[in-house]
Chain A
Amino acid sequence: MSDDLYREQILEHYKNPHHFGELPDADITQEGDNPLCGDVITFYLKLDDGRLGDVRFRGRGCAISQASASMLTDLIVGKPLQELKTFPTKDLLEELGIQISPARMKCATLSVNTLRVALNGDAPEED
């Protein structure tokens, strides 16, 4: 794990997020927020025969929350929904590849928690 919270890859995702925007024909639209920080993310999910056919997100917030959402979209697009319903937080944290302090953990996990709410109706598992 890098101790550089703002390593190049994070900043790249923050400045040029992947799958950024909306899907007009989304099957599921889910908003999530961190009231404490003011981070907001909305996922647009298009389902395709038991898989996540396509994904977009919009959001505003700190670099960690927005980069993590961008990275998550790369990890989940095309995957079976059954698998995504229990998508492990640690997989996203590994992809982020940085040490997240307790104070910033909510920023890092907003995207994956929002995904779980979108697919399950609530957010079980760890946060």
Chain B
Amino acid sequence: MIQTRTLNAEAARADFPILGRRINGKPLVYLDSAATSQKPAVVIDTMDDYYRRYNANPHRGVYAISEEATAAYESARQRVATFINAASPKEVIFTRNTTEAINLVRYSWGRANIRSGDRILLTEMEHHSNLVPWQLLAQEVNATLSFLCIDDDGLLELEQLDRQLEGVRLLAITHQSNTLGTINPIKAVAEAAHRAGALVLVDGAQAVPHMPVDVQELGADFYAFSGHKMCGPTGIGVLWARRSLLESMPPFLGGGDMIRRVRLNEATWNDLPWKFEAGTPSVAEGIGLGAAVDYLTQFGMDRVRSHERTLVDYAMEKLQEVPGITIYGPRDSEIHGGAISFTLANIHPHDLATLVDREGIAVRAGHHCTQPLMDRLGVAATTRASFYIYNRVDEVDHLVSGIQKAQKVFA
């Protein structure tokens, strides 16, 4: 049973060893959690403990430490299932990251179900990881891609959704834009897609770390996310899908662990979830993700979300006062997650990011793996500040004063 704990950024900071670092003589102000979150000591220690005390290949050994490793790895899967309210841990497939989870669907479900002339519907705000796999599949099977457009506030234009869903086999959509911060109305969109006979894949990389996500309530068919953006390690991600769907799908990667019986010329497949997990898994990373889930659960994802809303509201207010700034995405934190993109009139995002780094502030500058969205916004790059449980409002003030200093350099 996980003890509940009040979310207080100042107290939470003490859990993250890296936040004690100084950069260029200044305390690290880490505003790039949308790229990867920092890791609490409990996650680092849990992985360290695995390597020091019970490192063994799971699912195979009959000896003590292999059984311990299997139990810890499968317990992590159970906790992830509970965290996203999956009906069963069998529906939680461990992958390397969100990208691999989406590619699993492309290769397994996609190749078996998308035919010549079929349509795949995406949005203009997708991360390359939820765009390029579908471009490749479409080229392979001669399917076509179409796109839901965004309006000038960075919201999806959904007035024509029913018409746009005609003939669509798959809708692939991000839950929260990593660039704009926009939170998309997944439940309503998924209902419309199902009425049209399409399946729905949701890129949840920016959602699961930051808000309560209930995959059954959302009604998606596939839901993908990464461990490293939610206080967990790199190298572990999740594909969730309904059990019946997963059972109907052919395997993704072939190899050890995913088989039941192998003969020279054929093989049969293991049960879920292992059917989709070929080879020795990322054991330490899976166990680390379990610890990250426990860490977030003690606060409660409602509290994580409301903490970030406070930061977004404050940042919107302060950033709007900066002369020459353009902020992208919706202003209302009700539909805006903890990532804010902006540009300045006379300073390129890379120059800004370099200059605020002098003040110890880490922000992202670039296209954020959303080049088509950059084209839509008419910019080559933006600066993005993104928040998490350990960020305080005074770090927004540091960012604003860092921007003002940069503006003096370029004045």
Taking Cβ atoms with an 8 Å cutoff, the residues of A that contact B are 5-6, 11, 35-40, 60-64, 101, 104, 107
Contacts and interface: CB of A to CB of B under 8 A. Distances in A.
A6 B355 contact: yes
Contact of A37 (B366, B379, B409): B366
B344 interface: no
Contacts of A6: 351, 355, 409-410
Contacts of A11: 409-410
Interface in B331-384: 348-351, 354-355, 366-367, 371, 374, 379-381
A104 B410 CA distance: 18
B354 A38 contact: no
A104 B380 contact: no
Given A6-B355, A37-B366, A62 B348 contact: yes
B351 A62 contact: yes
Contact of A36 (B355, B366, B409): B366
Contacts of A60: 380
A101 B410 CA distance: 20
Contacts of B379: 38
Interface of B: 348-351, 354-355, 366-367, 371, 374, 379-381, 409-410
Given A62-B349, A104-B350, 17 more contacts: A5-B354, A6-B351, A6-B409, A11-B410, A36-B367, A37-B350, A37-B366, A37-B380, A38-B374, A60-B380, A61-B348, A61-B380, A62-B350, A63-B348, A64-B350, A101-B354, A107-B350
A64 B367 CA distance: 18
A60 B381 CA distance: 11
A64 B381 contact: no
A40 B351 CA distance: 15
Nearest to B371: A35
Nearest to A7: B409
A112 B138 CA distance: 38
Contacts of B410: 6, 11, 63
B351 A37 contact: no
Contacts of A37: 350, 366, 380-381
Nearest to B380: A38
B328 to A, nearest CB: 15
B23 to A, nearest CB: 13
A15 to B, nearest CB: 8
B375 to A, nearest CB: 10
Contact of B351 (A38, A64, A101): A64
A62 B410 CA distance: 12
22 contacts: A6-B351, A6-B410, A35-B371, A36-B366, A36-B367, A37-B380, A37-B381, A38-B367, A38-B374, A38-B379, A38-B380, A39-B380, A40-B380, A61-B348, A61-B350, A61-B380, A62-B349, A62-B350, A63-B348, A63-B410, A64-B350, A104-B354
A40 B374 CA distance: 15
Contacts of B355: 6
A104 B355 CA distance: 12
Given A62-B350, A107-B350, A38 B409 contact: no
Contacts of B409: 6, 11
Contacts of B374: 38
A63 to B, nearest CB: 5
A68 to B, nearest CB: 13
A113 to B, nearest CB: 17
A70 B367 CA distance: 25
